Amino acid sequence: MLTGIGGQGVQLAAQVLARAAVREDRHAIYLGTYGGTMRGGNTDSTLVVGDAPISAPPIVSRTWAALAMHHQFWEPVRDKLRPGGVAMVNSPAFEGELDRERHRVFEVPATPIAAGLGGAMASSLVLAGAFAATTGLVELPSLIEAMRESLPPYRRQHLELNQAALAAGFEAGSPGAAPAWPKNGGAPA
Q: What is the pLDDT of residues 150-160, one digit of tens each?
A: 999 999 999 99
Sheet of strand 2-5, all strands in order from the earlier edge strand to the far edge:
27-34, 42-50, 2-5, 63-68, 81-90, 104-108
Instruction: State the pLDDT at residue 55.
Output: 81
**Rounded alpha-carbon distances, angstroms, from residue 176 to 97, 114, 179:** 25, 23, 5
pLDDT at 95 over 90: yes
Sign of the C-alpha dihedral, residues 147, 5, 46, 33?
negative
Evaluate whether 86 touches 66 at the Cβ level (below 8 Å).
yes
How does pLDDT run across 101-132, given as a tens digit for each residue? Answer: 999 999 999 999 999 999 888 999 999 999 99
Number of CB atoms found within 10 A of residue 81's CB: 22
> For position 3, what pLDDT does the model report?
92
pLDDT tens per residue across span 66-87? 999 999 989 999 999 999 999 9
Mean pLDDT of 130-159: 96
pLDDT the model gives residue 159: 95
Asked whether 126 and 168 are in contact (CB, 8 A), the reply is yes
**Domains of the chain with bracketed CATH:** 2-172 (3.40.920.10)
> Per residue in 8-57, pLDDT tens?
889 999 999 999 999 999 999 998 887 766 667 888 898 999 989 988 77
What's the pLDDT at 128? Answer: 98
The whole-angstrom separation of Cα 129 and Cα 125 is: 6
pLDDT of residue 185: 53
Question: What pLDDT score does 189 carry?
Answer: 47
For the chain, strand residue ranges (E) read 2-5, 27-34, 42-50, 63-68, 81-90, 104-108
